[in-house]
């Protein structure tokens, strides 16, 4: 997998050596400079919280009832079935920061605490789905990214030092988890190679864990998975999910790239992420009607009865699409994207 990364870097260096048009270079520098100005998600949350619909989105998606009194998120309320479901706690953490609510933040931390009760000494999480630990490595990556991202959010929030201290208690668990996932990285890539949104979740698991543990090895693994995902982007900005575009997973890709943009280092990678966000967000808004409805036309995975999850047909994920456009609006300085996100929130409420 590292050969892919080296090849990509080499090709980029050749472009610089033999010349790039001044206009294109100017646009790339400008885009990456804007991303550099957002060093973390916290400041972005503060800026976006001035929007009523942004706050409403988090109230609806990250309410305190999302997590049971014991910390479980459905479908885990009768015992651990799928550790990835606990990642929903990230919505609570964000909502708590936006509304300055220690109760919401504490409930989110409780959900992470619940999950770690099911971690084995080998680093993987038990599951009730009958899957082997190796087959369930993707679920472990889903959970790890969310915990690490919440950790990095709360690290910068002095008002929640008590909650952050509870998160720090699991630093060794993070080390064991990311070591297990890295050991099974080939299986992880095999499972996710045709779904760039999942490759970006994998990238976040490695990169954010590496940041917490100060490990360049895990951060480099994260960069490798980022590059795999970027290779799945079409010239028009659409990410190819199982061979074609999908308006729901497009939003997830934008959201994941945005979260990565707050943390990754290195000019070339930040520039590539900036370009990907710019083109993917433009494609995304072209699929949204004036009233906020998202078109499923031509989707490969959602909205047309193609796939099931937990016995339900996959629909377009309106909350993630809305959040992705709010972040893109801040990163790209395009207020019209935030306006479009407002419309998506309102349409989702009216459905």
Examine the pLDDT at 15 and tell me if it is beyond 50: no
Mean pLDDT (whole number) for 336-342 = 98
Cβ-proximal residues to 124 (8 Å cutoff; 6+ apart), any chain: 133, 136, 137, 140, 177, 180
Cα-Cα-Cα-Cα dihedral sign, residues 281, 283, 285, 288: negative
* Percent of the chain at pLDDT exceeding 70: 89
Mean pLDDT (whole number) for 136-145 = 98
* Cis amide linkage into residue 75, ω under 30° from 0: yes
pLDDT tens-place string over residues 44-95: 998 999 999 999 999 999 999 999 999 999 999 989 999 999 999 999 999 9
pLDDT tens-place string over residues 258-309: 999 999 999 999 999 999 999 999 999 999 999 999 999 999 999 999 998 8
pLDDT value for 317: 97
Per the listing, tokens 């099911």 go with 118
* pLDDT mean across residues, the chain: 90
pLDDT value for 40: 67
Cβ-proximal residues to 214 (8 Å cutoff; 6+ apart), any chain: none
Closest alpha carbon to 78 in 68, 64, 88: 68
Cβ atoms within 10 Å, residue 254: 29
Q: Cβ distance 179 to 240 under 8 Å?
A: no
Examine the pLDDT at 141 and tell me if it is beyond 70: yes
Examine the pLDDT at 340 and tell me if it is beyond 70: yes
Examine the pLDDT at 310 and tell me if it is beyond 80: no
């Amino acid at each position: 997998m590292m050969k892919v990364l080296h090849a990509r870097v080499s090709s980029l260096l050749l472009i610089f050596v033999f010349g790039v048009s001044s206009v294109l270079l100017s646009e790339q520098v400008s885009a990456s400079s804007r991303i550099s100005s957002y060093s973390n998600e916290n400041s972005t949350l503060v800026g976006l919280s001035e929007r009523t619909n942004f706050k409403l989105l988090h109230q609806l998606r990250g309410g305190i009832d999302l997590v049971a009194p014991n910390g479980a998120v459905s479908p885990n309320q009768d015992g651990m079935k799928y550790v990835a479901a606990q990642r929903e706690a990230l919505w609570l953490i964000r909502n708590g920061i936006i509304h300055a609510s220690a109760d919401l933040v504490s409930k989110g931390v409780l959900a992470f605490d619940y999950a770690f009760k099911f971690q084995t000494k080998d680093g993987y999480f038990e599951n009730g789905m009958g899957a082997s630990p190796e087959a369930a490595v993707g679920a472990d990556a889903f959970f790890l990214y969310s915990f690490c991202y919440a950790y990095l959010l709360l690290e910068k929030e002095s008002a929640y030092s008590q909650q952050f201290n509870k998160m720090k208690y699991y630093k060794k668990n993070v080390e064991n988890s990311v070591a297990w996932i890295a050991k099974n990285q080939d299986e992880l890539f095999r499972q996710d190679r045709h779904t760039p949104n999942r490759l970006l979740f994998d990238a976040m698991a490695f990169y954010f864990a590496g940041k917490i543990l100060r490990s360049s090895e895990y951060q480099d693994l994260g960069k490798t998975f980022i590059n795999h995902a970027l290779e799945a982007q079409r010239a028009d900005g659409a990410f190819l999910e199982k061979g074609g575009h999908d308006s729901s997973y497009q939003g997830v890709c934008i959201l994941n790239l945005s979260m990565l943009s707050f943390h990754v280092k290195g000019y070339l990678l930040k520039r590539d992420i900036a370009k990907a966000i710019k083109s993917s967000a433009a494609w995304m808004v072209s699929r949204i009607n004036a009233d906020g409805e998202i078109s499923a036309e031509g989707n490969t995975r959602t909205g047309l009865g193609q796939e099931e999850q937990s016995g339900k047909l996959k629909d377009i994920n309106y909350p993630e699409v809305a959040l992705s456009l709010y972040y893109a609006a801040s990163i790209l300085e395009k207020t019209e994207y935030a306006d479009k996100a407002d419309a998506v929130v309102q349409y989702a409420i009216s459905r």
